[in-house]
């Protein structure tokens, strides 16, 4: 079995992608992009689970992986939120 190298370079990676860094990207933009990606993963997992439950011929592994990706992205989002709240509270404590 031969694999065409050109075909491999045209494949897109699955899952959250790191944001492209440029000098005009702000922290707010990065955060908004991360939240958008988390939202996209959650909606994709929900859609696949609904379609699977409706009896569409989907691979159970595909559904499981999508749900795990969404769960991991959501857990990471919650951890980032918790750290931001902690940092805000620490700043408020320092300024008081």
Per-residue pLDDT of 6-40, as tens digits, reads 554 555 555 556 656 556 789 889 999 999 999 99
Cα R_g (the chain), whole angstroms: 19
Residue 32, in any domain of the structure: no
- What global pTM score does this model have? 0.68
How confident is the model over 81-94, as pLDDT tens digits? 999 999 999 999 99
In the chain, what percentage of residues exceed pLDDT 90?
68
- Does a structural domain hold residue 71? yes
Share of the chain above pLDDT 70, in %: 76
**pLDDT exceeds 80 at position 60:** yes
Residue 6 forms part of a structural domain: no
Asked, for residue 85, whether it belongs to a domain, the answer is: yes
Cα(83)–Cα(33) distance, integer angstroms: 18
**Residues in CB range of 45: below 8 A, 6 or more apart:** 63, 66, 67, 69, 70, 71
H or E segment and range at residue 75: helix 60-95
Domain membership of residue 77 (yes or no) is yes
For residue 91, give both structure tokens.
């700043």
Answer whether residue 50 is part of any domain: yes
- Count of structural domains, the chain: 1
């Amino acid at each position: 079995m031969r694999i065409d190298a050109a075909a491999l370079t045209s494949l897109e990676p699955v899952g959250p992608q790191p944001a492209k860094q440029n000098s005009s990207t702000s922290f707010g933009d990065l955060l908004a992009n991360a939240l958008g990606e988390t939202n996209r993963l959650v909606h994709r997992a929900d859609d696949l689970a609904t379609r699977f439950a409706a009896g569409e011929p989907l691979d159970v592994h595909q559904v499981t992986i999508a749900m795990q990706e969404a769960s991991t992205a959501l857990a990471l989002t919650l951890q980032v939120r918790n750290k931001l709240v902690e940092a805000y509270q620490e700043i408020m404590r320092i300024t008081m």
